[in-house]
Amino acid sequence: MSSPKITFIGAGSTVFVKNILGDVFHKPALKEARIALMDIDPVRLEESHFVIEKLMKSQGANGTIESYTDQKEALRDADFVVVAFQIGGYEPCTVTDFEVCKKYGLEQTIADTLGVGGIMRALRTIPHLWKICDDMLEVCPNATMLNYVNPMAMNSWAMFEKYPQIKQVGLCHSVQGTAEELAHDLDLDHHDLRYICAGINHMAFYLSLEKRLPDGSYQSIYPDLHEAYASGRAPKPRMDNNLRCNNIVRYEMLKKLGYFVTESSEHFAEYTPYFIKPNRPDLIERYKVPLDEYPKRCVEQVEKWKSDLQEFKQAEKICVAESREYASSIINSIWTGQPSVIYGNVKNDQLIENLPSDCCVEVACLVDANGIQPTHVGKIPNHLAALMQTNINVQRLTTEALITENRDRIYHAAMLDPHTAAALGLEEIYALVDELLVAHKDWLPNWINQ
Q: Is 383 annotated as a binding residue?
A: no
- Which positions ≥6 away from 256 have C-beta within 8 Å? none
| Concatenated DSSP letters of 115-155 | HHHHHHHHHHHHHHHHHHHHHHHHH-TT-EEEE--SSHHHH
- Give the residue ranges of DSSP H helices in 10-114: 14-26, 42-58, 71-75, 95-103
Q: Are strands 64-68 and 144-147 parallel, antiparallel or unpaired?
A: unpaired
Q: Is 150 annotated as a binding residue?
A: yes
247: burial class by Cβ within 10 Å (0-12, 13-18, 19+)? buried
Concerning whether 173 is annotated as a catalytic residue, the answer is yes
* Local structure of residue 237 (DSSP, 8 states): P
Residue 170 parent element (H or E): strand 167-170
| Concatenated DSSP letters of 363-391 | EEEEEETTEEEEPP-BPPPHHHHHHHHHH
Nearest CA among 369, 365, 371, 366 for reference residue 336? 369
Of the residues 26, 49, 128, 173, only one is catalytic, namely: 173
How many Å apart are CA 258 and CA 271, to the nearest integer?
A: 18
Residues 7, 75 contacting (CB under 8 angstroms): yes
- C-alpha dist (Å) from residue 12 to 37, 113, 375: 8, 22, 34
How many Å apart are CA 390 and CA 422, to the nearest integer?
A: 13
How many Å apart are CA 356 and CA 361, to the nearest integer?
A: 9
How far is the first Cα of the chain from the last one, in angstroms, to the nearest whole number?
A: 48
How many Å apart are CA 151 and CA 161, to the nearest integer?
A: 16
Question: Would you call 405 helix, strand, or coil by DSSP?
Answer: coil
What are φ and ψ of residue 125, in 5° steps?
-95, -45
Binding site residue list for Mn(2+): 172, 202
Binding site residue list for substrate: 150
Binding site residue list: 150, 172, 202
Residues carrying an active site annotation:
173
